[in-house]
């Protein structure tokens, strides 16, 4: 999506409490490595064998967390962002997208 010009990606998820650290790491990593904003909403509540932790967040392209619901409650958070300037600035400064090596992961993509 980044290669097609995305500046903001939304994620709706059902990550369980036991994977809380992975959830946060994935969202921050995706925002930073793609130089985009990630608006990630994760479920809260319980099922008979699963517990969901929430931790919904908005992460910026420099890996900064703009806002997070770090309690397992339903709710919303508000943050003001500048899509154009922030994304463009980070992409120009870091140029991570240009450092990709598509040939290195071609075989992985082909399998799926």
The answer on pLDDT for 8 being more than 80 is yes
Share of the chain above pLDDT 90, in %: 70
* Predicted TM-score (pTM) of this structure: 0.85
In order of 17, 38, 53, 70, 72, the CA distances from 49 in angstroms are 11, 29, 14, 22, 17
Instruction: Give the per-residue pLDDT at 46.
Output: 94
pLDDT per residue as tens digits for the range 28-45: 999 999 999 999 999 999
Domains and CATH numbers, the chain: 8-111 (3.60.110.10)
């Amino acid at each position: 999506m980044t290669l097609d010009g995305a500046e903001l990606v939304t994620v709706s998820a059902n990550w369980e409490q036991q994977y809380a650290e992975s959830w946060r790491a994935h969202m921050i990593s995706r925002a930073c490595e793609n130089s985009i904003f990630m608006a990630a909403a994760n479920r809260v509540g319980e099922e008979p064998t699963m517990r969901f932790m929430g931790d919904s967040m908005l992460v910026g392209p420099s890996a900064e967390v703009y806002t997070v619901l770090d309690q397992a409650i339903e709710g919303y958070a508000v943050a003001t962002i500048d899509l154009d300037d922030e994304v463009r600035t980070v992409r120009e400064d870091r140029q991570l997208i240009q450092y990709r090596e598509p040939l290195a992961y071609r075989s992985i993509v082909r399998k799926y």
